[in-house]
Every structure is written in C-alpha cells, then in structure tokens.
Amino acid sequence: MAPAATLAVFLLCCCFFSATDSQDVCDLYAATGTNVTVPLKYTLKESDNLKWLKDATVIFHRRNKKVIIGENDDVDSTGSLKLTQLMTKNKGRYTPEVHGADGKSAGDLQSTRLCVLDRVQKPTVTMTCLNSKKNVRFTCSVGQNEKLVWFMDDKNLTDNKKMLTREASSVANARFYCKVSNPVSSEISVAVQQNCYEPSFPDELWGISIWVFVVSRSDPSSVLILTDEGELRLQWSNQERQHQQQHHHHHQHQQHQHQNHPDQHQHQHPHHHQQQPAGNTGPRQPRSKQQRAQQRPRAPDPPNGHPQPSPRRAAQPRSKELKLAAL
C-alpha cells in the first residue's frame, strides 16, 4: 500500500512540474508598446468560421462572414490575430478554432504562447577598490531575468555574474563594460576604467612603448635607458653624487699643486711683472697702492682746514686677461 501511494505522489509532482515548465516556454516574444501578429497555421477558406481564444476566453469570433466578438481589424486576410500597443497583460496562450460552413471542425490547431516583456534599461558599471586598492570590482546594474555579458577591451569574457573582480595592476588600462539583454531588447553600458592602481611611470602610451634616455652632463657619451620612475631617481642621484665628488677632488688637487709649487704658478704668468714696450696697446699692468700714492699729485688743502672728499673715479673696465690673472 505504501509503495503505491509513493508512486502516485511522484507522478503527481512530475505532472505539476511539466505543466509549469510548459507554461514558462514562450513561442513568441514582444516588447511592451509594440504590435505583434499571432499566426494562424491553417489555410483559411472564405466560408470558414474563425474563433480566437486567449487562454480560455474568446476574444474574436466571426461566423458566416459576420464578426460577433471583436472587430474586423483584429485579424488579417489570412485569419492571423493582430495585437496592437501591447501591455504585459496581453501575455498568454492564444488558440485558434476553425469550423467549416457545415460546422465541421478543422481539428486541433497549433496554439501560440505570447510573452510580453519590457525593454531593458541601459546598464551602468560602477567601480570599487578592494584590499587597499590591490583589487578592483566592477558591478553591472542588471535586472531580473536579464542576460549579462561582460566585455574587456571589446573581448567577450566568460564571466556572467553581476560583479566582476580583478587584480588592479593587471587591468590598469583596460576598459570594462557590460551588455544586458532579454528576448526583445539589449543595451550596452558606458566603458569604465579602474583608478585603484595608478602606475607611476606608464609602460605604453597609445600602444607605443615608452623609454627614457638620460644623458649625463659630465659625460654626454653615457646614456641611461630607464623604464621605471624609481630607477630614474636612483640613477640620477647616483650620477649627481659622483659628479660632485669628482669636482671636489679636482678642486682639492688644484689647491694642493698651488701650495707646493708657488714659483711654478708665478712662472706661468711672467708677463705680469714685465715692462711693456712703447707703443704697446696691451692691457695696463697692475700697480701697488704705494706706487699709485707716489704718482698721484696731492691736492692743496682747503682754506678752512677741512679736507674735501675726493671725486669718485669712473669704473675702468678690466680686460679679460687681467681677470684671468687675478683668478
């Protein structure tokens, strides 16, 4: 007795699920606000009587060429049903019935299950940084019962979930967008790029690899090829430090030579102590303060006994050779 009852319950459940699945299958899809024609898959004669039912309700009946229920414009010349300005309430199963002039039925004709859906809205993609900006999550605004497809740089991704998570550095310059659709429409979002990971030095610009060439001021023949900003700072600071050390060492070496060989330094400039021949237009030789005081005539004292300030002499240009000698 128990096995028989179990079998009966199992068969009842199978019948219930089969009926539910058959109701969910749509033969024809249409968007709200549009027009659709439900086809009559039968060659209708002029003398035939035609009836259309929505689920179990008669919505059109024409008998002896006279419309009893509905309007003449509800069907076309083939007997197919015309539906206009669809709303979601128009969904359902539409079944035709045809009888001849003698009242004989044309048999069971194929019915059509119509599904009326709203058009999908244009989706938006939002970006969220995760794990201290190491990861990035993209979220697509998808509606219920809508199909979702992700794209990265126009490449179709296999992920079809609402949220998409990636390592930020691996998709630094990638463009992500999603496409949502249903049987009556589809829309594509605006592409979004992550801003969690920002490379300090771009590897590429418009698909072109970027290289940095650094030429040393002290040695123009040495060229550094860098691709990383940290490497750039390190190499540049090392070069500056080496250049300063070389300059300091060279300056100390010159001072040491000058202290150890003062006679040689004076010998390098003998013309400083030689008398220029007559008619020579070369630079004037420097004179000591004592010589200038002996040669300069002394002005007479003023009658009141107070010395008068001497007039300022105009600055005389010094020749390049004199500047070099002073150095």
- The whole domain housing 37 covers 23-117
Same domain for 136 and 112:
no
Q: Classify residue 172 by burial, with Cβ atoms within 10 Å: 0-12, 13-18, 19+.
A: middle
Q: Is the pLDDT of residue 237 over 60?
A: no
* Residue 308, domain member (yes or no): no
Would you state the pLDDT for residue 74?
A: 97
Residues 219 and 177 in one domain: no
Cα–Cα dist 141/64, whole Å:
54
Measure the CA–CA gap between 224 and 239, rounded to whole angstroms.
10
Q: Which residue has the tokens 């013309």?
A: 271
Last residue of a domain, one of 117, 133, 166: 117
pLDDT above 90 as % of the chain: 50
* 2-20: average pLDDT: 45
Domain assignment of residue 58, yes or no: yes
- Please state whether 117 falls in left (phi above 0), alpha (psi between -120 and 50) or beta: beta
CA distance 218 to 132: 43
Domain count, the chain: 3
Section 9-33 average pLDDT: 63
Q: What is the pLDDT of residue 213?
A: 53
pLDDT digits (tens, 9 = 90+) for 190-201: 999 999 998 765
> Do the domain assignments include residue 298?
no
DSSP secondary structure string, 130-159?
Answer: ETTTTEEEEEE---TT-EEEEEETTEE-S-
With respect to residue 277, please indicate whether it lies within any of the assigned structural domains: no
In 3D, which of 139, 140, 201, 195 has the Cα closest to residue 172? 195
Judge if 173 and 220 occupy the same domain: no
Do 38 and 105 belong to one domain?
A: yes
Q: What is the mean pLDDT of the chain?
A: 75
Q: Are 154 and 226 contained in the same domain? A: no
Q: Which of 141, 162, 188 is the last residue of a domain?
A: 188
Gap between the Cα atoms of 64 and 48, Å rounded: 7
- Specify which residues 196 forms β-bridges with: none
Whether the per-residue pLDDT at 233 is higher than 70: the answer is no
Q: Which of 6-20, 154-168, 191-205 has the lowest mean pLDDT?
A: 6-20
Which residues lie below 8 Å from residue 285, measured CB to CB, with a gap of 6+? Answer: 272, 275, 276
- Residue whose pair of structure tokens reads 């009242």 in the numeric block: 103
pLDDT of the residue at 302? 52
Indicate whether 232 belongs to any domain: yes
- 141 and 79 in one domain? no
Please tell me whether residues 83 and 152 are part of one structural domain: no
Give SS3 for 187: strand
- What value does the mean pLDDT take over residues 97-121? 95
pLDDT at 270: 43
* 138 within 8 A of 145, measured Cβ to Cβ: no
**Average pLDDT of the residues in 312-327:** 47
Do 135 and 107 share a structural domain?
A: no
pLDDT of 96: 97
Whole-number percent of the chain with pLDDT over 70:
54
Query: Does residue 72 share a domain with residue 94?
Result: yes
- pLDDT digit string (tens) for 117-158? 999 999 999 999 999 999 999 999 999 899 999 999 999 999
**For residue range 252-280, what is the model confidence (pLDDT) as tens digits?**
555 555 555 545 444 444 444 444 445 55
Report if residue 258 sits inside a domain. Answer: no
319 domain residue, yes or no? no
Residues 113 and 29 in one domain: yes
Of 188, 216, 234, the residue at which a domain comes to its end is 188
User: Domain check: are 209 and 147 in the same one?
Assistant: no
Tell me which of 101-105, 150-154, 203-207 is least confident. 203-207
More confident residue, 192 or 8: 192
For residue 325, how many other CB atoms are within 10 A of its CB? 15
Q: What is the CATH number of the domain that holds 150?
A: 2.60.40
Check whether residue 82 and residue 143 sit in a common domain.
no
Q: What is the CATH number of the domain that holds 89?
A: 2.60.40.10
Least confident range from 15-24, 62-71, 129-138, 195-204: namely: 15-24
Q: How far apart are CA 95 and CA 11, in angstroms?
A: 28
Confidence class for position 208, pLDDT limits 50, 70, 90: low
Most confident by average pLDDT, 165-174, 242-251, 273-282: 165-174
Q: Examine residue 292 and state whether it is found in any structural domain, yes or no.
A: no
